[in-house]
Amino acid sequence: MPSSARYFVLLAVLLAASPLVLGEYAQQILSQAFFFAIAAVTVDLLWGYTGILTFGQSAFFGVGVYTVAIALAYYVEGTLATAAVVLGAMAAAALIGAAVGWLSFFDRASPIYVAIVTLALPVVFTQVILSGGAYTGSSSGLPIPPPAISIMQWYWISGGLLLLVAMVSYVFVSSDAGRILVAIRENEERCRYLGLRTSGLKIRLMAACSAVAALAGACYVLFGSVAAHSYGDFVFGTELVVWTALGGRGTLVGPILGTVGVNYVSAVLGGNLPFVWLLFVGFAFVLIVVYLPQGLVPALGSVLSRVTRAAVSREGGRGAVAGAGRARAATPQVRAAASMRATRPGEATPGAEPGAPVLELRQVSKRYGSLQVLEGVNVQARRGEVVGIVGPNGAGKTTLLRCIADGRERSSGDILVNGRHIAGLPPQACVALGVSRKFQTPNVFDALSVLDCLRVARSYRAPTSWWRRSDTVELPEPALRTVQVSGLLSLLDEPAAHLSHGAKQALELAMVLALEPAVLLLDEPTAGLTREERAAIGGVLTELAQSHRLCILLIEHDLDFVREISTRLVVLHMGRVLVDGPLPEAAESEVIRTIYVGGGARP
């Protein structure tokens, strides 16, 4: 049995046995806290793992509360009817959550936008309830007939439901799909340029979390037997965020401990120290925010990790050797994927005419207000070509690649990939046409390991599991070779944040190659690499062009490296193409000497 499964079994046993030592009052307080903790888990999935700060989960909790309360107060009775109403509340919350996601998660939306939208959601919910008069109970609340369930049974129901939600959430965030959530939190732009449709994923996650919050609210109103608008207002939504932050977001355990701990302590202090307990809770919150900004659980985990490492360092002999052997046996692997069919030089690529340009720019211009960055750029590139793009700083080289990788960037002109216009297409749609871009500054996922970064990149081509985390990743041969020659093969478990600049460059290049592109856009791919690594990467790029017939556009300030691998040279200066021709002619052009020595002028 996996260690995580053992923990859940142990928690289930403790939940079943704890009423033997807990009084009825403690069970009642903990039952309420368990229902609140379910809503806090949904906040953690959205905020802690995906980076979506939301204050609206209280509104979805309130949807569950009032859907069940109104149905039982006026329309239905009986167990089966109540269960159907609970499912209806979850469906309604999911639809509302999907609508909120559709409004909030459009391309180029600021992360703060969803926070503003979800801030308004509890306010709207509260106004609807208060304006409902006697039908909704207004500010007085709406009572319902209590079910014939004892406090101990409610304790088991609430705790069991929390345990189930936590277990399902743990399986999800530990899966390959869960790594994508973290990747979105760390660098959503990079995800889009890897072909991932992040907006759709976030909308589905918002809908699912809304349904779970509504389930918690529906069960809670059955437990409390009265619906109040405070269960869906802004204050409760903020409390869910605070409890998540106190416990430690992105941990699942943290929000549960934060919610249960604050509610239980508040109930105890509220009875013994009325009005003063809020001061204690607020003071504790300030201390944790200032001194433990990651929350309690990550801080405790860090302490336990240091203690464990110290204990392991004191061990020796066969135990340490055996442990090392087990670690080596569990080391994740990368292997070649049966993809990227090699094409011999001169052979037509399926779906493309022989000799036809795979990339074509016609009079492409880019302006930022009155600043003209690109003007009338005309470039064609074919399969098997390595087009070196050179020019001084500020010539518009990176802007040119940005216009090719994102169909919304250029101000005028046409860009065609495989004969198809990319006008108005977002980066993920351009990836679907075969365009992949490596950024000038290494753009990876710092919180993920090297292996997870590669797995996220590969998820565009390979199916992603929602319940399993694979120990291997299958990479196309060029990406695998990049990993091997750069030394990343021995760093698969290393967090990307700990890599050197050169290693991050190689990792991003491998991630881009994992997409199996037709047009590869590289912005200074060898910056920070050693001479040996640079030569190895140059060999990989040359093989890509010759054996796999890729079209490569390369920005590089190292003219020697450009001469080694390029077949054509494009000289860009002040947003215009001054030279475009075969490497031997363009490299010896007087224009290049003039530009790099100084004195180049706009023609």
Alpha carbons 94 and 539: distance in angstroms, whole number: 51
Residue 349 lies in a domain: no
Give the other-Cβ count within 10 Å of 314's Cβ: 8
In the predicted structure, residue 207 carries a pLDDT above the cut 90? yes
What does the pLDDT read at residue 156? 93
Q: What is the DSSP string of 532-557?
A: HHHHHHHHHHHHHHHHS--EEEEE-S
587, 569 contact by CB (below 8 A): yes
Q: Is residue 354's pLDDT more than 70?
A: no
Q: Identify whether 344 is part of a domain.
A: no
My answer on whether 516 and 388 are in the same domain is: yes
CATH number at residue 535: 3.40.50.300
Burial degree of 110 (CB within 10 A; 0-12, 13-18, 19+): exposed
Question: In this predicted structure, what is the pLDDT of residue 465?
Answer: 81
Same domain, 301 and 232: no
Q: Do residues 386 and 321 both lie within one domain?
A: no
How much is the pLDDT for 460? 87
- 95 and 234 assigned to the same domain: yes
The pLDDT value recorded for residue 598 is 57
- Of 281, 308, 341, which closes a domain? 281
**In the predicted structure, residue 600 carries a pLDDT above the cut 60:** no
Write out the residue range of the structural domain in which residue 526 sits.
359-597
Q: What is the mean predicted confidence (pLDDT) over 240-250?
A: 90
Quick one: 449 and 562 in the same domain?
yes
Residues 400 and 315 in one domain: no
Residue 561 has pLDDT above 80, yes or no: yes
Q: What share of the chain is helix, strand, coil (3-state, %, to 5)?
A: 60, 15, 30
The answer to whether residue 129 is domain-embedded is yes
Same domain, 258 and 325: no
Quote the pLDDT of residue 342.
43
Asked whether residue 428 falls in the same domain as residue 390, the answer is yes
CATH number assigned to the domain comprising residue 21: 1.10.3470
Average pLDDT of the chain?
85
Same-domain check for residues 322 and 259: no
pTM higher than the cut 0.75: yes
In a domain, 602, yes or no: no
Name the token pair of 546: 């010759």
Is residue 345 in a domain?
no
Q: Is 455 helix (H, G, I), strand (E, B) or coil?
A: helix
Same domain, 277 and 373: no
| Same domain flag for 527 and 578 | yes
Residues 2-35 have pLDDT tens digits of 556 677 787 888 888 888 888 888 899 999 999 9
User: Over the Cα atoms of the chain, what is R_g?
Assistant: 29
pLDDT confidence of residue 205: 95
pLDDT digits (tens, 9 = 90+) for 467-519: 888 878 888 888 888 888 888 888 888 999 999 888 888 899 999 999 989 99
* Helix H or strand E encompassing 112: helix 111-130
The string of pLDDT tens digits covering residues 190-199 is 999 999 999 9
**Number of domains observed in the structure of the chain:** 3
Q: Do 22 and 68 share a domain, yes or no?
A: yes
Task: Average the pLDDT over each of 395-399, 455-459, 471-475 and give the range with the smallest value.
Answer: 471-475
**What is the average per-residue pLDDT within 86-93?**
96
* Residue 206 · residue 50 · CB < 8 Å: no
DSSP state, 566? Answer: -
Residue 576 lies in a domain: yes
123-162: pLDDT as tens digits: 999 999 999 888 998 888 899 988 889 999 999 999 999 9
Q: HEC string of 206-222?
A: HHHHHHHHHHHHHHHHH
Q: In 187-301, where do the E strands start and end?
A: 226-227
